[in-house]
Amino acid sequence: MNFDELYQHLILDHSKHPRNYGELEQEGTVHVHGDNPSCGDEIHLHVRFGPENVEEIRFTGHGCAISQASASMMTLKLKGKAREEAERLLRLFHARVAPGGEGADDPGPRELGDLNVLSGVRQFPQRVKCAMLAWRAFEQALEETREGASGTAGARVSTEKEE
């Protein structure tokens, strides 16, 4: 499969059959509502952190295929990861989809795996907001659970101003 075929295949597969789709209700679960008004994408991200890692992560949502596929692939990637590693992957992913990064023919960091196919969005600033939505929600979940954070139920983020 060439890059475009792989891209189509993965986006379709994950948007039609999202992984880790659902909610988490246990105590200590962080819930972040993310939206991307310019496309109409929404995501509800549920994360339960262990002492050092991302113990469980699920999402529900609706919107374009890119936003939902990115969320699905993100949950697969981050589940079980140490907090620091998850933060590093967030930065790697952002660098991968942000405009002005490496060329699309660059295979990208191996750690990102299938998520590298989303690098195609960098030519379309509006689509970057779609791809980053779940990740910004995850970033907020990290923020909510930092030591000393007051802890809120129902944080919100938006990729309206994403660049």
Strands 155-158, 41-49: pairing is: unpaired
CA distance 93 to 7: 16
Closest separation between CB of residue 25 and Zn ion, Å? Answer: 27
Closest separation between CB of residue 34 and Zn ion, Å? Answer: 11
Closest separation between CB of residue 133 and Zn ion, Å? Answer: 7
Within 8 A by CB and 6+ apart from 102, the residues are 96, 108, 119
Binding residue count for Zn ion, defined by CB under 5 A: 5
- Site residues for Zn ion, 113-142, by CB under 5 A, read 130
Strands (DSSP E) contained in 92-154 are none
* DSSP state at residue 26: S
| Residues 141-154: b if buried by 16+ CB within 10 A, e if exposed | bbebeeeeeeeeee
Regarding 39 and contact with Zn ion (CB under 5 A), the answer is yes
CA distance 26 to 87: 23
Closest separation between CB of residue 55 and Zn ion, Å? Answer: 28
- State which residue, 24 or 64, has the beta carbon closest to Zn ion: 64
- State which residue, 45 or 64, has the beta carbon closest to Zn ion: 64
Distance of CA 32 to CAs 25, 70, 78, 153, 156, Å?
13, 16, 16, 8, 6
- Site residues for Zn ion, 63-122, by CB under 5 A, read 64, 67
- State which residue, 64 or 142, has the beta carbon closest to Zn ion: 64
- State which residue, 64 or 71, has the beta carbon closest to Zn ion: 64
**Stretch binding Zn ion (CB under 5 A), from 11-19, 35-43, 75-83, 144-152:** 35-43
In the set 18, 20, 29, 41, which binds Zn ion (CB under 5 A)? 41
What is the binding site for Zn ion (CB under 5 A)? 39, 41, 64, 67, 130
